[in-house]
A and B are shown apart, each in its own frame.
Chain A
């Protein structure tokens, strides 16, 4: 058992999301930065879909009432066990009575805390991912007790075997985001297309699990479209010129022109861009 002494800003359980539920208009949800989440689970040799904790900006303070093996992954954060700083991207062994604290996510927005065997949690519609309308119970709250897999005692005594993977921080924090043409890209004129790929855009303060809005606008006269499918990574252009990148909790349908589509890795990159940071789009082709 783990006791949540302090939940942090927006800590919740996430996995790879609620797949197969778009026909009910249920968003995918799941981890915002799939690269870092996979890394944390992989370090512990957990299957990729293993539930872990997604931390946003300021993290939780957790009291371990049982031992555990953990891994924490993200761009950069202040993480402590019993007030002593611990490294990211390494297997960490915690004993009964230890307190793990994530103070601040100093680079990026999200940090992932995985534990060997995964967090034991309820699943709704196939996933533990927190989404208020579907699965409200998996948000961390003060006093909440978190269950983890009880492992064989010898697991904790051994030196944790190191899975040899290197965390590609530079690639993840790169400001250039690979994008494909969106289905309504062809409606842009040459000047608009040029602006889209030459301009640097600031990430606005309107960012979250549903969408990331960019600061600078792209003036346009595009017609609205008939309500059409959208998925995480779809970038919409509104009549007032706002560029909105839909993220993991976004709706499944939309009526704004879809001018770009982020690559899978691009979604993870954008998810880790703090408000005020710069991004630039690079067009890649479908093969």
Chain B
């Protein structure tokens, strides 16, 4: 199994990024996450921070001493090549259920999307709740999950003018992506529902249970159920249905 490196570039004096030659797909994500584990182990004795996006892994060197990025890049290339042919060690993956209330009160853009996409409300909800979405990485806002797997028929462009404030838990569609706003923030995506779970807790360690490599499925719930979950301040959901 080859780790095909597209390029390694630097970001300032103390950070480098390894960009892989990979398509955006769950299998590629597995490879990326395995490479990330390799790098995390390699740098475990050093003060370094590692995070990733679709096809890139960024390493920031946090200690005060000067880092030779060129030397690090050379080490990384040979490290990744050495491990290229080792058997795959599967990354643990959890499937999460995410309750969403799609009622009008929580879904200001749902009607508009139904009209534009020529779908009934039930059809839209069915298509949104059917897939097992892959969590690719966290970005944009603390705890915001970049999800893959949105049904093509639900693609819808971002709003021209973002809302100044989108409520916590808003479930939205923007372009070819869907996601959940873990906190109140400005937002340009189209809001189709709300999730009552506490997705990100700054005082918990780790602050979120939703990780890259996991999958999630949206489950439609009633407004009453949404309220019950909101009050219980949970971060996970177990469906009462069979």
- List residues of A whose CB falls within 8 A of some B CB: 19-27, 48, 124-125, 133-135, 180, 182-183, 226-231, 233-234, 251-253, 258, 261-264, 286-287
Say whether B198 faces chain A, with CB atoms less than 8 Å apart: no
Q: Kindly state the separation between the CA atoms of A53 and B150 in the bound complex, as whole angstroms.
A: 45
Residue of A whose beta carbon sits closest to that of B59: A229
Contact among A125, A133, A251, A263 for B12, CB-based, below 8 A: A263
Q: Kindly state the separation between the CA atoms of A230 and B51 in the bound complex, as whole angstroms.
A: 10
Instruction: Kindly list chain B residues whose C-beta atoms are within 8 Å of the C-beta of A261.
Output: 10-12
**B140 engages A124 (CB within 8 Å):** no
Given A183-B11, A286-B69, A124 contacting B202 (CB threshold 8 A): yes
Contact among A135, A226, A231 for B58, CB-based, below 8 A: A231
Q: Kindly state the separation between the CA atoms of A99 and B138 in the bound complex, as whole angstroms.
A: 45
For window 1-41 of chain B, which residues contact chain A by CB distance below 8 Å? 9-15, 17, 24
Say whether B187 faces chain A, with CB atoms less than 8 Å apart: no
Say whether B183 faces chain A, with CB atoms less than 8 Å apart: yes
**A231 engages B60 (CB within 8 Å):** yes
Max chain B Cβ within 10 angstroms of own Cβ: one of A22, A234, A253? A253
Instruction: Kindly list chain B residues whose C-beta atoms are within 8 Å of the C-beta of A125.
Output: 202, 207
User: What distance in Å separates the Cβ of A162 from its nearest Cβ neighbour in chain B?
Assistant: 24
Say whether B235 faces chain A, with CB atoms less than 8 Å apart: no
Q: Kindly state the separation between the CA atoms of A26 and B183 in the bound complex, as whole angstroms.
A: 12
**B10 engages A286 (CB within 8 Å):** yes
Instruction: Kindly list chain A residues whose C-beta atoms are within 8 Å of the C-beta of B9.
Output: 183
- Interface-located stretch among B78-86, B116-124, B141-149, B216-224: B141-149
- List residues of B whose CB falls within 8 A of some A CB: 9-15, 17, 24, 47, 49-56, 58, 60, 62, 64, 69-70, 137-144, 146, 183, 185, 200, 202-203, 206-208
**B53 engages A253 (CB within 8 Å):** yes
Q: Kindly state the separation between the CA atoms of A227 and B58 in the bound complex, as whole angstroms.
A: 13
**A264 engages B12 (CB within 8 Å):** yes
**A24 engages B60 (CB within 8 Å):** no
Residue of B whose beta carbon sits closest to that of A252: B139
Q: Kindly state the separation between the CA atoms of A23 and B39 in the bound complex, as whole angstroms.
A: 14
Q: Kindly state the separation between the CA atoms of A180 and B69 in the bound complex, as whole angstroms.
A: 13
Question: Could you write out 9 A-B pairs with CB less than 8 Å apart?
Answer: A22-B51, A23-B52, A25-B140, A124-B202, A133-B141, A229-B52, A251-B140, A253-B137, A286-B70
Given A26-B142, A134-B142, A253-B139, A228 contacting B12 (CB threshold 8 A): no
Residue of B whose beta carbon sits closest to that of A286: B10
